[in-house]
């Protein structure tokens, strides 16, 4: 009887030590939920959700302050992924925050640019290269298409160019049976 008690106590102690050690050793820094939500968000950093970037929006979702349907660049697929992750009902994108658009990159008309650096300050991912009174240009491979540089430009020299389909980014299409129109026999 007593031996059994000792065994159980010993086990409890050993496991307690193990758990305590693991809690210290494998401590998870930060909120993993925010990171997981942030991983789903498209990282456009456009602020259309009403938060100043994807991470703040992810934090707001994790706290339950924001809804999952406020991210137009993430599209319907993004809402589905968030709904799956958080175990909530899917809801269509909230039109208040904008409509999904085809992926674009900003383009600076270099002949119009006056070199004011306002767009450089607005770019959330530092994808604009330039200096005061020198021409600016977009590093298109790093542009997220957030459109935040459009508004500050005093000479409206920035436009959004949809990404064109090239043999490089072309995708095989889903197999479909083409519908043929056949003349009806009269």
Partner 1 sequence: MNALVNFGKIFKFNGGVHPPENKAQSTQRPIGQLTLPERLVLPLRQHVGNIPKVAVSVGDHVLKGQLLAEAEGMVSAAIHAPTSGTITAIADAVIPHPSGLPDHCITLAPDGQDTWIAHLPIDWRNTDRKALVASLRLSGIVGLGGATFPTQVKLRADGKSVVHTLVINAAECEPYITCDDMLMRERATDIVQGIAIAQHLLGATKVLIGIEDNKPEAIRAMQQAVTGTSMEVVVVPTLYPSGDARRLVHLLLGQEIPYNKRSTEVGIQVFNVATVLALHRYFNHGEPAISRIVSMTGNVAHPQNFEVLFGTPLAHLIHAAGGVKANTTHFIMGGPMMGFNLPDTNIPITKAANCIIAATPDLFAPPPPAMPCIRCVRCADACPVSLQPQELYWFAKSDNFEKARDYKLFDCIECGACSYVCPSDIPLVQYYRYAKSEIIAADKAKEAADLARERNEARIARIEREKLERAQKHAERAQGAKTEPKQETATPASTSAGADDAKKAAIAAAIERAKQQKLQNAQATDTDTSEQTKPAADDAKKAAIAAAIERAKAQKAAAQQAGETPKNVDSVSTKVQQKIAEIDARRQTVGPAPEPVAKVQGPPPVADDAKQAAIAAAIARAKAQKAAAEAAKSESPMKSDVDNQLKSQPKKD
User: What is the contact surface with partner 1 in residues (CB under 8 A)?
Assistant: 38, 41-45, 53-55, 124-127, 142, 144, 165-175, 177
Nearest CB to partner 1, comparing residues 55 and 97 = 55
- Could you say which DSSP state residue 81 is in? H
Q: How far is the CB of 21 from partner 1 (least distance, A)?
A: 22
Q: In angstroms, give the least distance from the CB of 145 to partner 1.
A: 10
Burial class (CB in 10 A: 0-12, 13-18, 19+), 79: buried
| Minimum CB–partner distance for residue 140 and partner 1 (Å) | 11
- The smaller minimum CB distance to partner 1, of residues 114 and 122, is found at 122
Q: Which secondary structure element, helix H or strand E, spans residue 69, and what is its range?
A: none
Closest CA to 88 of 31, 33, 46: 33
Q: Collapse the DSSP code of 80 into the 3-class scheme (helix H, G, I; strand E, B; otherwise coil) and give the result.
A: helix
Q: How far is the CB of 113 from partner 1 (least distance, A)?
A: 21
Instruction: Show Cβ contacts of residue 17 under 8 Å, excluding neighbours closer than 6 positions.
Output: none
Q: Considering beta carbons, is residue 54 or 61 the nearer one to partner 1? A: 54
Cβ atoms within 10 Å of 40's Cβ, excluding its own: 22
Residue number, 30 or 64, with CB nearest to partner 1: 30
């Amino acid at each position: 009887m007593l031996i059994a008690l000792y065994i159980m106590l010993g086990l409890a102690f050993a496991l307690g030590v193990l758990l305590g050690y693991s809690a210290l050793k494998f401590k998870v820094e930060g909120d993993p939920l925010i990171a997981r939500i942030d991983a789903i968000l498209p990282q456009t950093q456009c602020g259309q959700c009403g938060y100043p970037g994807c991470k703040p929006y992810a934090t707001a979702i994790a706290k339950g302050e924001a809804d999952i349907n406020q991210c137009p660049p993430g599209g319907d697929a993004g809402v589905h992924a968030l709904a799956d992750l958080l175990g909530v009902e899917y809801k269509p994108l909230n039109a208040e925050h904008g409509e999904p658009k085809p992926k674009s990159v900003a383009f600076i008309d270099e002949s119009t640019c006056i070199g004011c650096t306002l767009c450089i300050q607005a770019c959330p991912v530092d994808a604009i290269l330039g200096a005061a009174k020198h021409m600016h240009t977009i590093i298109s491979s790093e542009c997220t298409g957030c459109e935040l540089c459009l508004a500050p430009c005093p000479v409206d020299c920035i436009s959004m160019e949809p990404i064109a389909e090239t043999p490089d980014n072309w995708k095989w299409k889903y197999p479909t049976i083409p519908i043929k129109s056949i003349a009806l026999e009269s």
